[in-house]
Amino acid sequence: MTIRDTALRTLAHTNWRLALPALLLLCGSLIVRAASSDPEVVVPTTAPTTAAIGPNGELTPAPSSPDAASAPAATPPLARSPQFPPAVAPSPATSAAPIAPTAPTPTVEAAAPLMKLPVNARHMLVIDDSGQVLMAKDADAVVPIASLTKLMTAMVVLDAKQDMAELIRIDDADVDRLKHSKSRVKVGATMSREAALELALISSENRAASALARHFPGGMPAFELAVEAKIRALGLRHTSLADPTGLSPTNTSTASEVARIAAAASRYPAIARISSDKSSEVAVDGRPRELRNTNHLVGAKGWDIKLSKTGYTEEAGRCLAMRMKSGGRTITVVLLDTDGSAQRLRDASLIRKSLSKLAELT
């Protein structure tokens, strides 16, 4: 017999005072059913993940307690906030063992509670260094990542521990004959390896990134092998990089894995310092050259950006990977395939404002 039948029978055979408990139980049942049928109301069934982004950019879930597997999950009522939509219930999959380099990357949908925002980017991830996924949108789709590739290029170059003051030369092989992108660095120009790194990270200069790879110990073939090794070391199962610039549409990854690349890159002081500079000046052919960060949010009022890289190709759309301070914690933001620079900035601003409101609420 259902709760509804019990309530109606009690009401029919006794007075209203005796029927009141059954009626209250009926109302509670109807409210729960209405909530479960409302797509905007999600009742959480598990606790948020306590995973952390490790020193190498790996997402390492914390081990679950012995009682966690056997104890039933609590389902407290979810308070609706006017600023943030309700969270999506997390998956128990985050209690798995730490991720080994050969283990598959966990999907965002299985990682933690999510919040929805009307962003333009087709793929998005916002995650803090505790491993809590704050916002996501199709973050496990494999798509082109354009010049976000240069974060990996920079790490591999720095891993080789070459002389950063050594002069390197821009060659004809560094000219973009795939996309015919413009460059402010002419063929034959010389600069220090450090200047080339700044050009690649701040101005997203393709010829500089190509020259860094060509001047890698063992040349381009050795550089490509080093990139493959770095991908394996970071446990990136859905990332494939065919060139050091990101011009190739076969340079692909996911928002989830780009966040791990950004976290790993932030461990390199040179990358963090260079990419978070609003502007810089380097010597090209012995003459000063002023550089301005392609991410116009760097150095802007209200922003505390610790690492940044933008990207664009026709296939990838406008992309952004950055790490910033918000509410006393470090947040990694990845936006892939945004329709334009203005939309990319709007998405990032919307995320920052939402994080600020969340910090105020907590």
CA distance 119 to 178: 31
d(CA 125, CA 36): 26
Rounded to an integer, what distance in angstroms lies between the CA atom of residue 11 and that of residue 131? 52
What residues are paired with 253 via a beta bridge? 143
Domain region containing 212: 143-361
Can you give the pLDDT of all 362 residues of the chain as single tens digits? 554 555 455 445 545 454 454 444 444 444 434 333 333 222 222 333 334 444 444 444 433 333 333 333 333 332 323 332 333 333 333 233 333 333 334 444 443 445 678 999 999 999 999 999 999 999 999 999 999 999 999 999 999 999 999 999 999 999 999 999 999 999 999 999 999 999 999 999 999 999 999 999 999 999 999 999 999 999 999 999 999 999 999 999 999 999 999 999 999 999 999 999 999 999 999 999 999 999 999 999 989 999 999 999 999 999 999 999 998 899 999 999 999 999 999 999 999 998 888 777 76
Task: Give the pLDDT of residue 69.
Answer: 36
Q: Are 356 and 326 within 8 A, CB to CB? A: yes
User: Does a structural domain hold residue 64?
Assistant: no
Q: Where are the alpha helices (DSSP H) in the chain?
A: 3-13, 16-37, 149-159, 193-202, 206-214, 219-233, 255-265, 269-275, 341-361
Q: How many domains does the chain have?
A: 2
pLDDT for residue 9: 54
**Domain membership flag for residue 171:** yes
Same structural domain for residues 182 and 323? yes
Q: Does the residue 150 lie in any domain?
A: yes
Closest CA to 139 of 128, 149, 126: 126
Q: Is residue 236 part of a domain?
A: yes
Q: What is the pLDDT of residue 115?
A: 61
Rounded to 5°, the CA angle 130-133-134 comes to: 110
Q: Are 235 and 102 in contact (CB under 8 A)?
A: yes
Same domain, yes or no: 197 and 327: yes
CATH no. for residue 257?
3.40.710.10
User: Is 340 a domain residue?
Assistant: yes
Closest CA to 151 of 270, 328, 58: 270
Q: Residue 63 has which token pair?
A: 């081990």
pTM here is: 0.71
Instruction: Give the DSSP letter of residue 250.
Output: T
Give the three-state DSSP class for 200.
Answer: helix
Instruction: Give Cβ neighbours of residue 305 (< 8 Å, ≥ 6 apart).
Output: 276, 295, 297, 298, 299, 322, 323, 324
User: Are both 150 and 11 inside the same structural domain?
Assistant: no
pLDDT score of 1: 53
Radius of gyration over alpha carbons of the chain, in Å?
25
Assigned domain for 27 exists: yes
Q: Is residue 51 part of a domain?
A: no
- The reply to whether 329 and 194 lie within a common domain is yes
Is there a domain that residue 346 lies in?
Answer: yes
Same domain, residue pair 211 and 335: yes
H or E stretch at 165: none
Per-residue pLDDT at 58: 46
Do 288 and 150 belong to one domain? yes
CA–CA gap between residue 273 and residue 303 (Å, rounded):
15
pLDDT at 73: 36
Catalogue the active-site residues.
147, 150, 204
